[in-house]
Chains A and B, each alone.
Chain A
C-alpha cells in the first residue's frame, strides 16, 4: 500500500525540470526582434518571438503563426493565422499584430527590413486573415519572412516600444530589454554579458520535440574559459569552439562533437564611397575605388595558411561571398584569388602606390571564429605587399555602431545567410544602399549599376533558370570586381555532453525545442 502511494505520488508529480546550459562567445545586442540583424541576437530572440512561418529541423518551411496560405497570383498572398495563440503576457494574437509588426520592422533605424523586402502592403482581412501585397514576384518569400517576427501591438504600445530603438545611437526601449512573443520559450531575464534565462512556455500552441524545459545561455568571451566550463560540466553545450581545442575535445570521453558547416562567409569590406579614405595615409583620394588596389589586397591574402594555421583546418577558403549550402553557390565560381605577393605589389605600383600606403583595419574581437587572429595575420600578409595596416580590434558592441555609421575604411565582417539563398547576400552587401533593405550592410557603399540591375531582377524573377543565372552573374561580378575580400566560409563544430542531443543548425541558431537532455 505504501509503495502504491509512492508510485502514485511519483506519477502525479509534475514533469521534472530539464535544464540545458548553453554557452557561446557572444551576448545579444538587444531583445527587440526587429532591431538588429545579428546572428546571436536572432538565435536568442527566436526562442520567444515567432514568425508566420518557420524552418523545421531540415530547414524546410513549415507553418508557424500562419496555419496555411494561398497565392492568388504572383503578387498576392493570403495567410490564415493560427487561432488561440497567446503572447507570453496573456494577450491574444491577431491580424492586428501582424500589420503592426510589418510597419514596425520596416522602420529605418532597424536593420531587419530585408526580411520583408518586396512586400508592399500587409492588410488585415479579419482577425485571423491577412493579405500580403508584393511589389514584384518573390519566389522565395517564405524563406525571407521566417525572420519577420511578430510582436504584440498592445504590449508594444503600452510599453512605449511601438518604434524600434535607435541602436546606433545607443537608445534603449522597453522592448530592447524585455521580450513578449508567442514562442516556445519565455525569456525570463537577460543580464547583459552574464546570462539569459529561458523557461518553456506552458501555454505554447506547439509541442516541444525534446524534453528541455529551461535554458540558461551564458556568453563566455574567453575561449579557454568557455572550454573549461564545458570540461568541468558547468555547461552542457558550447556552439563556438576555439579551433585549437577541437581536436582535444574530440578525444574527451564524456563529450561529443557535432560537425557542421555554417552558412557564413567571413570577408573584409572596404570603403569605396568616400573621396578620401578617412583612416589612411593617402590624402585627397580613395585607393579602394581602384579595382587594381582591391585586387592586390585580394591576391596578397594567403587563405590556405589561414585555413591551415589560424583555423586549424576548420574553414573553407572563399572566392565568392556565399558559402556552400546557400542557393546560388557553386563550386566552379568559388575560385579563390591566387596568392601572389609579387603580383599584388605590381598592381599596387600600377595603381600609383609603389610604396604602398597605410590604412586602419577595424576588426571585431570575439565575434567570429578567430577574428582578431585572422586580422593580425592579414596585417602581416598585406605588409608583405607593402601595405602598412593598423589593426583596430574592438568588442563587437563598439564595432557594429562604428561600421553602421560608415566610420571605417576597412573592416572585417561575417555574413550568414538566413534565407539560404544568395540574393540575401547580394542585396544586403553589394547592391547600392538605399533606405530599405537594399545595401543594408553595404557598409563600404559599393555601387555598381550592373549589380543593382541583377539584384533587382532576381528579386522578382520567377523563372528558376533565369534567376539562378542572375545570382551567379552577381556573385561572379562581385568576385571579379573585388568589391570585397572574401576570406573563408566558417566551419563550426559544436561540443556537448554525451547525454545532450540536438540538431545542428548551419545558421548557428541552436534550437532548444529540438534538444533533449537524458
Chain B
C-alpha cells in the first residue's frame, strides 16, 4: 500500500519521467555507497601508512602493460592505490560537503527566521551583513576563514583540526542564501492567521518560530541545500587543490587532484585524471538531482 502510494506520488511520477534524473540518482547512489563503504570495499587502506610500499609508487592502471591487477587504477607517488584513495577521498569530500551544508543551513535558517520574524533593526543588521558577505565570492570567504584559523591554531594540531575548520569555513561562506530565503518566507508567514492565533494564545516567539513557522518555510530551503551540496564539494576540492584544505596524509578528492597535478607533465596522468573524473561524476549527479528536485517542487513549472 505504502509503496504504491509512493509510486503514485507526484515526485515519483516526475522522477520516472526523467531518464537523466534516474541516471543521476544511480550515480549518486553508487558514489555515496562507495564512499560510505570505503573502509570495507576499498582494496587497500590508504591511511594505513605502514601498509604502503613506496616501491609500488607510480604503477599505471591495470590495463597498462606495466600495470598490476592489485591496483586497478594504478598508484600515486606514495604507492597508494588510486581507487582506494578515491573511495576514501570521496568519503571525506562528501562528509565535508554535507557537514558544511548542514552548518550553513543551521546558521542561515536561524538568522533568517530571526530577521524575518522580528524585522526592524535586527532584520536590517542581519541582512546588511548578508549583503556585504554576498558581495564576496564564497571561495574567498572560505579561504579567509581557513587562513585565519590556520594562523590562530597551534601549529602541530593543524592536520587534526583541518576538517572541522574546513567545515566551518565552507559552511560560514554559504549561510546567506538560506537566510535570505527563510527571511522572505517568514515575513509572509508571520502575517498569516495561524501565527497570529499562536501569538494570541500566548506562545513564546521562539516556539512559534520553531514549531509553526519553520515547517512552512523549510521546503525551498531543502532544495537549495541539495544543490548546495555540490557547490560545497567543489569549494572543498578547490581549497584542497590550493593546498589549504585537508592534509595530504588524509586526502580528499581535491587533494588527490592537487597531488596528481604535479605528475601530469611526466606522463603519470592516472594520479590526477581518475580523482578528477570521480569529482565530476559526483558533483554532476548531485547537481542534476538537486535541479530535478527544484523543478519538481516548483508549482510554477508544473
Binding site for B on A (CB under 8 A): 223-224, 227, 242, 244-245, 247-248, 279, 302, 305-306, 308-310, 360, 372-373, 376-377, 379-381, 383-384, 389-394, 398, 402
Contact with A along B243-272 (1 / 0, CB 8 A): 000011100000000000111111110000
Query: Across the interface, do A302 and B54 meet the contact criterion of CB distance under 8 Å?
Result: yes
Query: Across the interface, do B268 and A244 meet the contact criterion of CB distance under 8 Å?
Result: yes
Roughly how many angstroms separate A306 CA and B53 CA in the complex, as a whole number?
Answer: 11
User: Which of B50, B55, B77, B268 makes the CB contact (< 8 A) with A383?
Assistant: B50
User: Which residues on the B side are within 8 Å of A373 (C-beta)?
Assistant: 77-78
Query: Across the interface, do A376 and B264 meet the contact criterion of CB distance under 8 Å?
Result: no
Given A310-B54, A381-B54; A392-B267 close (CB under 8 Å): no
| B263 CB, min distance to chain A CBs, angstroms | 6
User: Which residues on the B side are within 8 Å of A381 (C-beta)?
Assistant: 54
Query: Across the interface, do B156 and A384 meet the contact criterion of CB distance under 8 Å?
Result: no
Query: Across the interface, do A380 and B155 meet the contact criterion of CB distance under 8 Å?
Result: no
Q: What are 29 inter-chain pairs, A to B, with CB distance below 8 A?
A: A224-B261, A227-B265, A244-B268, A245-B265, A248-B267, A302-B55, A309-B54, A309-B55, A309-B79, A310-B77, A372-B248, A376-B248, A376-B249, A377-B78, A380-B52, A380-B54, A380-B79, A381-B54, A383-B50, A389-B49, A391-B159, A391-B249, A392-B155, A392-B156, A392-B159, A393-B247, A393-B248, A394-B155, A398-B155
User: Which residues on the A side are within 8 Å of B248 (C-beta)?
Assistant: 372, 376, 391, 393
Roughly how many angstroms separate A247 CA and B264 CA in the complex, as a whole number?
Answer: 13
Lowest 3 CB-CB distances: which A-B pairs, in order? A383-B50, A383-B49, A244-B266
User: Which residues on the B side are within 8 Å of A383 (C-beta)?
Assistant: 48-50
Roughly how many angstroms separate A360 CA and B78 CA in the complex, as a whole number?
Answer: 19
Roughly how many angstroms separate A393 CA and B248 CA in the complex, as a whole number?
Answer: 9
User: Which residues on the A side are within 8 Å of B172 (C-beta)?
Assistant: none
User: Which residues on the B side are within 8 Å of A305 (C-beta)?
Assistant: 54-55
Interface size bucket, B side? 20 to 34
Given A306-B54, A390-B156, A391-B247; A380-B266 close (CB under 8 Å): no
Query: Across the interface, do B158 and A392 meet the contact criterion of CB distance under 8 Å?
Result: yes
Binding site for A on B (CB under 8 A): 48-50, 52, 54-55, 57-58, 77-79, 155-156, 158-159, 247-249, 261-268
> Which residue on A lies nearest to B48, using beta carbons?
A383
> Which residue on A lies nearest to B50, using beta carbons?
A383
| A241 CB, min distance to chain B CBs, angstroms | 11
Query: Across the interface, do A223 and B262 meet the contact criterion of CB distance under 8 Å?
Result: yes
Query: Across the interface, do A242 and B78 meet the contact criterion of CB distance under 8 Å?
Result: no
| B92 CB, min distance to chain A CBs, angstroms | 17
Query: Across the interface, do B78 and A376 meet the contact criterion of CB distance under 8 Å?
Result: yes
Query: Across the interface, do A379 and B249 meet the contact criterion of CB distance under 8 Å?
Result: yes
| A501 CB, min distance to chain B CBs, angstroms | 25
| B133 CB, min distance to chain A CBs, angstroms | 28
| B150 CB, min distance to chain A CBs, angstroms | 10
The DSSP consensus for interface residues of chain A is helix
> Which residue on B lies nearest to A249, using beta carbons?
B265
Roughly how many angstroms separate A64 CA and B183 CA in the complex, as a whole number?
Answer: 75
User: Which residues on the B side are within 8 Å of A242 (C-beta)?
Assistant: 262, 265-266
| A155 CB, min distance to chain B CBs, angstroms | 35
Query: Across the interface, do A380 and B50 meet the contact criterion of CB distance under 8 Å?
Result: yes
Query: Across the interface, do A279 and B156 meet the contact criterion of CB distance under 8 Å?
Result: yes
Roughly how many angstroms separate A222 CA and B248 CA in the complex, as a whole number?
Answer: 15
User: Which residues on the A side are within 8 Å of B50 (C-beta)?
Assistant: 380, 383-384
Roughly how many angstroms separate A383 CA and B247 CA in the complex, as a whole number?
Answer: 18
User: Which residues on the B side are within 8 Å of A394 (C-beta)?
Assistant: 155
| A197 CB, min distance to chain B CBs, angstroms | 27
Query: Across the interface, do B266 and A248 meet the contact criterion of CB distance under 8 Å?
Result: yes
Roughly how many angstroms separate A393 CA and B155 CA in the complex, as a whole number?
Answer: 10
Roughly how many angstroms separate A380 CA and B77 CA in the complex, as a whole number?
Answer: 12
> Which residue on B lies nearest to A382, using beta carbons?
B49
User: Which residues on the A side are within 8 Å of B261 (C-beta)?
Assistant: 224
> Which residue on A lies nearest to B243, using beta carbons?
A365
> Which residue on A lies nearest to B56, using beta carbons?
A309
User: Which of B49, B79, B265 makes the CB contact (< 8 A) with A244?
Assistant: B265
Query: Across the interface, do B155 and A248 meet the contact criterion of CB distance under 8 Å?
Result: no
Roughly how many angstroms separate A360 CA and B160 CA in the complex, as a whole number?
Answer: 12
> Which residue on A lies nearest to B263, using beta carbons?
A244
Query: Across the interface, do A377 and B54 meet the contact criterion of CB distance under 8 Å?
Result: yes
User: Which residues on the A side are within 8 Å of B262 (C-beta)?
Assistant: 223-224, 242, 244
List 20 additional A-B contacts (Cβ < 8 Å) besides A242-B265, A380-B50, A393-B248. Answer: A242-B266, A244-B262, A244-B263, A245-B266, A247-B266, A302-B54, A302-B55, A306-B54, A308-B55, A309-B54, A309-B55, A372-B248, A377-B78, A379-B49, A381-B54, A384-B49, A391-B248, A394-B155, A398-B155, A402-B155
User: Which residues on the B side are within 8 Å of A360 (C-beta)?
Assistant: 156
User: Which of B78, B263, B267 makes the CB contact (< 8 A) with A380?
Assistant: B78
> Which residue on B lies nearest to A278, using beta carbons?
B156
| A251 CB, min distance to chain B CBs, angstroms | 11
User: Which residues on the A side are within 8 Å of B78 (C-beta)?
Assistant: 373, 376-377, 380
